[in-house]
Chain A
Amino acid sequence: DVKVTQSSRYLVKRTGEKVFLECVQDMDHENMFWYRQDPGLGLRLIYFSYDVKMKEKGDIPEGYSVSREKKERFSLILESASTNQTSMYLCASSFVTGAEAFFGQGTRLTVV
Chain B
Amino acid sequence: GQQLNQSPQSMFIQEGEDVSMNCTSSSIFNTWLWYKQDPGEGPVLLIALYKAGELTSNGRLTAQFGITRKDSFLNISASIPSDVGIYFCAGESGSARQLTFGSGTQLTVLP
Contact = CB atoms under 8 A, between A and B. Distances in A.
Given A98-B94, A100-B33, A106-B40, A42 B45 contact: no
Contacts of B41: 105-106
Interface in B1-58: 1, 30-31, 33, 35, 40-45, 48
Contacts of A92: 42
Contact of B99 (A41, A50, A56, A101): A101
Contacts of B31: 98-100
26 contacts: A4-B42, A31-B97, A31-B98, A33-B98, A40-B103, A42-B88, A42-B103, A43-B88, A50-B97, A56-B97, A59-B1, A97-B94, A98-B31, A100-B33, A100-B45, A101-B45, A101-B90, A101-B99, A102-B45, A103-B35, A103-B42, A103-B43, A105-B41, A106-B41, A106-B42, A108-B40
A105 B9 CA distance: 23
A43 B97 contact: no
A42 B30 CA distance: 21
Contacts, number: 52
B92 interface: yes
A92 B99 CA distance: 11
Contacts of A74: none
Contact of B98 (A4, A42, A48, A106): A48
A61 interface: no
B42 A43 contact: no
Contacts of B40: 106, 108
A98 B42 contact: no
Given A98-B94, A100-B48, A108-B40, A42 B102 contact: yes
